[in-house]
Amino acid sequence: MLFSKQNKSNSKQTSFMKVAVNLLPYSSYQGIETYTRNLINEMIKIDGVELILIKHQETPDFFDFGDKVTEVIVPFKKVLKAGVAIYLQTGIYFLLLKLKPDVLLSTSPASPYFYSKNVITFHDCAYDRFREFANIFSKYYFKSMYIAAKYFARKIITISEFSKRELIDVYKIKPSKIAVVLEGPPALPKVTITAVDEVKQDFNIHGKYFFYVGNSRPRKNLKRLIEAFGAFQKENSSYKLIIAGKIDNRFEDIDGIIAKFQLADSVVRTGFVTDEQKVALLKGAVALVFPSLYEGFGLPVLEAQTLGVPVITSHTSSLPEVGGNSVYYVDPYSEKSITEALSVLVADKELCSRLVEKGFENIKSFSWKQTAFQTLAVLEKSEK
């Protein structure tokens, strides 16, 4: 069996797998990068597996695992995005011939189309469901990857039953080719109460607040969240809404939306935050508000629950799989539904306490160790 430990009293070699991991698409710190880092961090603990990380010169430091892995540095920078795309369809084949891995694990759609040992993780079909917000390159580049994977990948991993249904519906991929492997709860840094106060002071945050973390793509539903908060604030003027994460006004003019509803003094945009800052802001929040229209998984839900913070989220896409009965659900297409949720959690302290307790129970169902073992089981089966 692949994952059994070697018996030192027996010199016979146990099963062994050499796994190359494609890190070339990554240069920032977002959801897929977090998924990949957590997965690798658990995979390196499993006996019988050699990991080879394929990087570029600007691969982020959070993919540094020291001598626990073998690293291969491709001599170009991620800033040359076209270079990455071209290399993945040309030069990487020669590298893989040299490395001779048993399998290549690509944790994003950006991977060599025709490599016969490729196992790809698809997180969602957002580029197809929200095509009007993608540029022409992204539309066709990612679509070509999904189509190539349908025919040439050994196996496709996805992170929820919802995403599996999406892949079947959008690309007509055979269900037998798709394996569902859920994510785990995040390993968050410990932050003291003093640190919470210091971070709040750094961002000039005073009093009670709701917290959102994520990007500003339209599917994240920030416009409705801000509008709903504006309606809530008419009766609850002391509360604020904190929006953490990179804002990209190519998608929506978030500042304009805030100004439209006259919320400049009540909505705080922090921009990008570190893990420590995110944890501090979450711990100080009344609740996480995550009314996304579309998620492949929804890791912020588990982040909040790990810290004992109640969660308001959508009853759409994968979020019910992640939240179960431990969150307060809203209709993300209804500002009124979101407003009512904010009001209910402010008024009902017992409900908040129950959500916290249920959240702690919910996260027990998720484990990155389990994710790693299940992923490696898929890789092993793909060899056969």
Can you give the pLDDT at residue 132?
62
Bridge-based pairing of strands 118-122 and 209-213 is: unpaired
Torsion over CA: 193, 196, 200, 206 (sign)? negative
Can you give the pLDDT at residue 79?
55
CA distance 309 to 332: 20
Can you give the pLDDT at residue 78?
63
Bridge-based pairing of strands 328-330 and 209-213 is: unpaired
Per-residue pLDDT of the chain (384 residues; tens, 9 = 90+): 333 333 333 333 336 899 999 999 987 777 789 899 999 999 999 999 999 999 988 888 889 998 899 999 998 776 556 778 889 999 999 999 999 999 999 999 889 999 999 999 999 998 888 876 666 776 777 788 899 999 999 999 999 999 999 999 999 999 999 999 999 997 889 999 999 999 999 999 999 999 999 988 899 999 999 999 999 999 999 999 999 998 776 667 888 999 999 999 999 999 999 999 999 999 999 999 999 999 999 999 999 999 999 999 999 999 999 999 999 999 999 999 999 999 999 999 999 999 999 999 999 999 999 999 999 999 999 876
How far is CA 27 from each of CA 59, 84, 244, rounded to the nearest angstrom? 5, 11, 20
All domains in the chain, ordered by first residue: 17-184+367-382 (3.40.50.2000), 193-365 (3.40.50.2000)
HEC sequence for 178-225 = EEECCCCCCCCCCCCHHHHHHHHHHCCCCCCEEEEECCCCHHHCHHHH
Q: Which of 165, 116, 120 is nearest to 142 (CA)?
A: 120
> Half-sphere exposure (CA, 13 Å, Cβ side) for 286?
24
Beta-bridge mates of residue 178: 156
Tokens, residue 210: 């709701």
Q: Given 3-state DSSP classes, what are the helix, strand and coil percentages for the chain, each rounded to the nearest 5?
A: 45, 15, 40
Can you give the pLDDT at residue 80?
58
286 residue type, one letter: V
Can you give the pLDDT at residue 357?
98
Instruction: Give the other-Cβ count within 10 Å of 201's Cβ.
Output: 10
Can you give the pLDDT at residue 81?
67
CA distance 92 to 3: 28
Torsion over CA: 109, 111, 114, 118 (sign)? negative
Let me know: does 171 contact 150? Beta carbons within 8 Å.
Answer: yes
